[in-house]
């Protein structure tokens, strides 16, 4: 019985930032005219202030890290050539989606036509991880079982506590925004590849979707490639976090295969139970509790993530050579997720622009020097010196010193 190749690839959606205002900037067209566009898999997204990069399929997590560091460096460099910079987080802390330009391409105009304001409001940024599974039947078996760990992984990746200049009280507001799209969330249990294929066939024949790419579940079989695509995560701020998440998901697939090879399986839970844990991940992130469905008991999220790594994944980590990368999750639990760090910075400074600066620095951490704007104090002095009737940089007065519940 031949196992999956376990190749791994990652797609990341970045924010294009004006380093002076710290607001989002419609810079995609400028970036793709740069030399870097010929060196990287660069894609547009719904909004002109977004850019997506994708690694090639990598045989190992070490290779994936090299690819991801290269692509982040190229993207940051290209943005800097046009007076822009890059940040990696699930939402921008204060930008207004109603002011953002949409990408004038047929694919995105079609989404806008179909979904109207839901599409325009989709100013969010995610991480997608692909793991190679050539056997379509195992792809579905793995999907069914791996749904259980989606909330655990989401907790580690949470990076979107702010929306439209407000502290939402959630750690993954991106998940809430995306939930408004059809065909999203935790998929139901599928009865084999034929069940999934019949679903897609029905939706295509009834003109609901053009193909499987418009099924936006938290985990799905890719419509073109022999991969299982995990889509539940906010985009990771630090490259080490992204590599950790990818390594964990590769290890989950490897473990599911090992169980199948030995004629065993992981218990498959109903979607509504997993959605309950996902809500807890969205609301509280690493600071909350998840449910152990086997015990019918809620436990601290950190306890269940540690159990996932030390009990469930332990025997495949050395085979994959990814123990160090997966155990980086312990550092995330110790130092806080991106969402927790953003909230701490805002609590300390009272300034969402300082949160943006932190995101810019952390996005470039271990990659290259960050492209930062002028210090906030000098910028505030310049704003104060302007005549009261004169214009002020977009977004400035709205994000400093305001009371955000």
What the chain holds in terms of domains, given with CATH numbers, is 8-385 (3.30.590.20)
d(CA 297, CA 337): 24
* CA 104 vs CA 112, 172, 372: distances in Å: 10, 28, 29
The residues facing 216 across adjacent strands are 184
- Asked whether residue 34 carries a pLDDT value surpassing 80, the answer given is no
- Residue 291's nearest CA partner among 146, 151, 186 is 151
Minimum mean pLDDT range among 14-28, 31-45, 65-79: 31-45
Q: What is the mean pLDDT of residues 292-301?
A: 96
pLDDT averaged over the chain? 89
- Report, as an integer, the average pLDDT of 36-65: 82
What pLDDT is attached to residue 404? 40
61-67 long-range contacts (CB < 8 A, ≥24 apart) are 61/8, 61/243, 61/246, 61/247, 61/250, 61/320, 61/321, 61/322, 61/325, 62/321, 64/8, 64/9, 64/10, 64/243, 64/246, 65/239, 65/243, 65/325
Rounded to whole angstroms, what are the CA distances from 114 to 107, 184, 190, 271?
A: 11, 16, 27, 27
**pLDDT of the residue at 45:** 63
pLDDT, tens digit, 9 for 90 and up, residues 124-151: 999 999 999 999 999 999 999 999 999 9
The fraction of the chain above a pLDDT of 70, given in percent, is 87
On the question of pLDDT at 281 being above 90, the answer is: yes
Mean pLDDT for 252-272 is: 93
Residue 141's pLDDT is: 96
Average pLDDT, integer, range 220-249: 97
pLDDT at 395: 41
Query: Where are the extended beta strands (E) located within 216-346?
Result: 216-217, 219-221, 227-234, 289-292, 297-300
Provide the pLDDT for residue 256. Answer: 96
CA distance 9 to 56: 6
Cβ-based neighbour number of residue 66 at 10 Å: 13
Instruction: Say yes or no to pLDDT of 108 above 70.
Output: no
pLDDT band at 29 (very low <50, low <70, confident <90, very high): confident
Cα separation, 270 vs 284, whole angstroms: 22
What is the rounded average pLDDT of the residues 303-331? 97
Helix (H, G, I), strand (E, B) or coil at 207: coil
* Token pair for 3: 């196992």
d(CA 36, CA 298): 47
Q: Which of 64, 50, 48, 76 is nearest to 361 (CA)?
A: 76
Tokens 């379509």 locate to: 136
What beta strand segments (E) does 65-180 contain?
Answer: 85-87, 126-132, 162-163, 166-167
State how beta strands 166-167 and 184-185 pair.
Answer: unpaired
Ranking 4-8, 35-39, 169-173 by mean pLDDT, the lowest is 35-39
Q: What is the mean pLDDT of residues 189-200?
A: 97
Residue 333 has pLDDT above 60, yes or no: yes
Secondary-structure percent of the chain, ordered helix, strand, coil, rounded to 5: 50, 15, 35
Is pLDDT of 390 > 50? no
Quick one: pLDDT at residue 107? 62
Q: How confident is the model at residue 30 (pLDDT cuts 50, 70, 90)?
A: confident
Q: Alpha-carbon distance 267 to 296, whole Å? A: 14
* Average pLDDT estimate for 109-118: 68
Lowest mean pLDDT among 112-121, 165-174, 192-201, 258-267: 112-121
């Amino acid at each position: 019985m031949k196992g999956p190749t376990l190749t791994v690839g990652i797609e990341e959606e970045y924010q294009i930032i004006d380093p002076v205002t710290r607001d989002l900037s419609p810079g995609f067209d400028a970036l793709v005219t740069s030399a870097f566009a010929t060196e990287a898999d660069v894609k547009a997204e719904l909004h002109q202030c977004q850019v997506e990069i994708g690694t090639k399929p990598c045989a190992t997590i070490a290779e994936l890290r090299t690819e991801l560091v290269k692509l982040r460096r190229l993207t940051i460099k290209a943005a800097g050539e046009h007076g822009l910079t890059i940040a990696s987080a699930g939402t921008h802390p204060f930008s207004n989606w109603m002011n953002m330009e949409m990408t004038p391409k047929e694919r995105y105009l079609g989404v806008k036509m179909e979904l109207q304001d839901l599409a325009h409001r989709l100013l969010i940024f995610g991480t997608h991880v692909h793991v190679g599974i050539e056997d379509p039947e195992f792809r579905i078996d793995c999907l069914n079982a791996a749904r259980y760990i989606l909330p655990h992984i989401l907790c580690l990746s949470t990076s979107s506590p702010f929306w439209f200049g407000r502290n939402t009280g959630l750690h993954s507001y991106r998940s809430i925004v995306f939930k408004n799209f059809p065909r999203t969330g935790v998929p139901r249990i599928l009865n084999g590849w034929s069940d999934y294929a019949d679903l897609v066939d029905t939706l295509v024949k009834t003109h609901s979707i053009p193909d499987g790419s418009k099924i936006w579940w938290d985990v799905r079989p890719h419509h073109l490639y022999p991969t299982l695509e995990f889509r539940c995560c906010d985009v990771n701020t630090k490259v080490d976090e992204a590599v950790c998440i990818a390594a964990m998901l590769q290890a989950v697939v490897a473990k599911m295969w090992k169980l199948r090879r030995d004629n065993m399986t992981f218990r498959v839970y109903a979607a509504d139970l997993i959605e309950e844990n996902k809500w807890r991940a969205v609301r509280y992130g690493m600071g909350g509790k998840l449910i152990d469905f086997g015990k019918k008991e809620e436990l601290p999220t950190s306890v269940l993530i540690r159990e996932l790594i030390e009990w469930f994944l332990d025997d495949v980590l050395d085979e994959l050579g990814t123990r160090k990368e997966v155990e980086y999750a312990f550092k995330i639990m110790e130092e806080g997720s991106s969402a927790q760090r953003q909230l701490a910075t805002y609590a300390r400074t009272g300034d969402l622009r300082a949160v943006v600066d932190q995101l810019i620095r952390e996005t470039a951490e271990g990659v290259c020097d960050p492209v930062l704007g002028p210090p906030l104090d000098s910028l505030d002095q310049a704003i104060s010196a302007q005549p009261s009737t004169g214009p002020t940089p977009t977004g400035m007065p709205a994000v400093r010193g305001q009371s955000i519940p």
